[in-house]
A and B are shown apart, each in its own frame.
Chain A
Amino acid sequence: MTLSLFVLIAWVVVIIFVKMPKHISYLDIIFLYCLSLILSTNTFTILDVNLHFVEISRKVEKSFAVITERVITIPLLLIMSANVMHSCIKWYKKLFVVITILIVLLSFHLLLSRMGVLTKHHWKFAFSVLMYTSFALLINLFSWWFVRLGRRKAEND
């Protein structure tokens, strides 16, 4: 049940991602995907294996639900936020979309806890807010750098 639900969520995120207009190139998307995957997998492993703050269930079905979440859902939502930041819409609309994406990420995190996939020790909800906000900030910073890297190169050529 848990795995099916999170696979369904991941698939819906994939559909939204594929359908949304892209304001960054495919190379930028691959780069950002790699970066967000490294970021999410590392953070989850450190929080679980090293610190035991957010322990992932040892049951096969539930742990695969987390893998689905950190390999598909989190990276794609973070790329969506970077994509929106590179669009031409007004800044308050961009901010609204990014905050919505953060709320969605936090809701999935809460859902994982409620379904017994994640067990939290010495971990407050505020830390999750901080974690996902840092993810979004980092991905956006790297996206600005990487997108401009291509533009600068083209200008020099």
Chain B
Amino acid sequence: MNNVRYDDSFNINEWSVLIGFAVGLTVILLLPRRFPLKKSIVFFMIGATTGFFFDHTLGVIPVDYYDINDTSKFKFIDAIAYFMYGPVGYLFFYLYDRLTISASNSPIYVLACAACSISFEWIAHLVGVFHYKHGYSIAYSFPIYLIVLSCWVVIFHLTKQMQR
């Protein structure tokens, strides 16, 4: 895999990642507690793991569809970028539970969340967090979001069943 260098300085993409992560964590801490601590940690981790999983499969060989931040190499700021998905995961589960969405309405909720995710990804692409390669475009992310968020809904119902 050739190492592509997009820029060398600490600029808008790094600041976006740091601010995004800080805002996400602040929102989690400010929201009234809804789940037990262990469950909250698991929901956060599910979000972060999804980020790590897709970026370490779609973003590396054999497909290598995109790079994150300044270079093709893995950097510390990339890890923070993946952990940015943690608050996203937590908020997804939080709102799903808070709005008491029924199973029949969950596809609408998933669609709305996928639309939000696409908007955030587009902003991240504009500020230089994502660099698409080999014909990949944001349109391909949309079905991925739909599948991932649907899996999250299934996980939510499974964790609820386990509690009973």
Contact = CB atoms under 8 A, between A and B. Distances in A.
Whether A associates with B in a native complex is yes
Interface of A: 25-27, 30-31, 33-35, 37-38, 41-42, 44-46, 48-50, 56, 58-60, 63-64, 67, 71, 146, 149-150, 153
B136 interface: no
A8 B100 CA distance: 40
B64 to A, nearest CB: 9
Nearest to A26: B162
A125 to B, nearest CB: 24
Q: Interface majority SS on B: helix, strand, loop or mixed?
A: helix
B1 interface: yes
Given A26-B162, A27-B162, A45-B74, A37 B41 contact: no
Contacts, number: 73
Interface stretch (B46-54, B105-113, B118-126, B140-148): B46-54
Contact of A41 (B41, B52, B61, B158): B52
Nearest to A46: B74
B57 interface: yes
B55 to A, nearest CB: 9
Contact of A71 (B53, B74, B162): B53
A111 to B, nearest CB: 20
Contacts of B53: 37, 41, 71
Most chain B CB atoms below 10 A, which of A33, A44, A49: A49
